[in-house]
Amino acid sequence: QSSSGKNQHVAVLAFPFGCHPWPLLNLTSRLASTAPDVSFSFLNTAKSNRKLSATSGAHLPHNLRSYDVADGVPEGRVLTPENPLEELDLFLEAAPESFRKGMDMAVAETGQKKITCILNDAFLVFGCDMAADMHAKWVPLYVPAPYDLSAYIYSALIHETYAKACGGGEAHDAIPGLSVMRFGDLPQEILDQGNHSNSSPILARELHRIREVLPRANAVVMNSFQELNSTILTDDLKSKFQDILYVGFLTLIFPTPPLPPSHSDATGCLPWLDEQKPTSVAYISFGTVAAVPPHEFAALAEALEASCVPFLWSLRENFKAFLPNGFLERTRKQGKIVPWAPQAHVLSHKVVGVYVTHCGYNSVFESIVGEVPMICRPILGDNMMNRRMVEDVWEIGVGVEGGVFTKKGMVKSLELVLGHGQHGRRMREKIRDLKELVVKAAGPDGIASKDFKTLLELISQ
Ligand code: UDP
Furthest-apart CA pair in the chain: how many Å? 65
Determine the residue of 343, 361, 372, 380 to mutate for testing ligand 1's pocket, defined as the one with the most ligand atoms within 8 A of the Cβ atom: 343
Structure ipTM? 0.99
Determine the residue of 356, 362, 372, 374 to mutate for testing ligand 1's pocket, defined as the one with the most ligand atoms within 8 A of the Cβ atom: 362
The 10s digit of each residue's pLDDT in 394-440 is 999 999 999 999 999 999 999 999 998 999 999 999 999 999 999 99
**Cβ contact 23:31 at 8 Å:** no
According to DSSP, the β-strands at 311-314 and 335-338 are parallel
* CB-based pocket (< 6 A), ligand 1: 18-19, 251, 285, 287-290, 314, 340-341, 343-344, 360-363, 366
d(CA 188, CA 200): 12
Give the pLDDT confidence score for residue 159 in this predicted structure.
Answer: 83
CA dihedral 111, 132, 224, 29 (to 10 degrees): 0
Closest Cα partner for 214 from 280, 264, 282, 140? 140
- Partnered with residue 285 across adjacent β-strands are 357
Active-site residue flag, 89: no
Atom of ligand 1 nearest to the CA of 344: 11
pLDDT tens series, the chain, 461 aa: 444 688 999 999 999 999 999 999 999 999 999 999 999 999 999 999 999 998 876 689 999 999 999 999 999 998 887 787 899 999 999 999 999 999 999 999 999 999 999 999 999 999 999 999 999 999 999 999 999 999 999 998 888 888 787 656 565 677 888 989 988 899 888 887 756 556 788 888 888 899 999 999 999 999 999 999 999 999 999 999 999 999 999 999 999 999 999 999 999 999 999 999 999 999 999 999 988 999 999 999 999 999 999 999 999 988 899 999 999 999 999 999 999 999 999 999 999 999 999 999 999 999 999 999 999 999 999 999 999 999 999 999 999 999 999 999 999 999 999 998 999 999 999 999 999 999 999 999 999 999 999 999 999 98
Active-site residue flag, 236: no
